[in-house]
Amino acid sequence: MEEISYFIQIQKGLVYITESVFLNSTVENNLAISNSYKIQFEMCLTLMIFNSTFQNIQSLLSPIEIAYSLSQENFTISNCKFFFLGAILSNGGALLLYEIQINIIQSNFLNNNAFKKGGAIYFECNLSLFFNIFQNNSADFSGGGDSFGKQ
């Protein structure tokens, strides 16, 4: 099988994602296999993700990583769906969050899995959750089926 890199990495940007769908992918060592995604946002000034779906994405590390804000502004994820995501060797089955301030609002986290901690979300940041649904998320190693972290 031919390996095609669809690795998404955004650094020091203003990020707005709306009405988008990311689905059916597997990532190994940041090389995409079968139209795969590893999504990483680092040192962004603004991050807003609205009405988007992330489904059936498996990665060696967390499928979606958001880290190191360059502003004091809260990042926002709202009305999003995170279904059947997995961190095969790491923390954060759907989301891995470091050193940011983020609000997650009215989003659904269903059937996500992390090998280590945080079946749906692993965080070391200021995280605020409002009106979300967490169902059937698991962490294989230890600590927290839905979320695990430090604020």
Q: What is the pLDDT of residues 83-113, one digit of tens each?
A: 999 988 889 999 999 999 999 999 999 999 9
Domain boundaries of the chain, sorted by first residue: 8-150
Under-50 pLDDT residues of the chain = 1-6, 32-36, 151
How many angstroms separate the Cα of 138 from the Cα of each of 19, 89, 150?
A: 27, 13, 18
- Residue 4: what pLDDT? 30
- Residue 3: what pLDDT? 39
113: amino acid identity, one letter:
N
Please name the residue that has the structure tokens 């986290």: 109
- Residue 144: what pLDDT? 59
- Residue 1: what pLDDT? 34
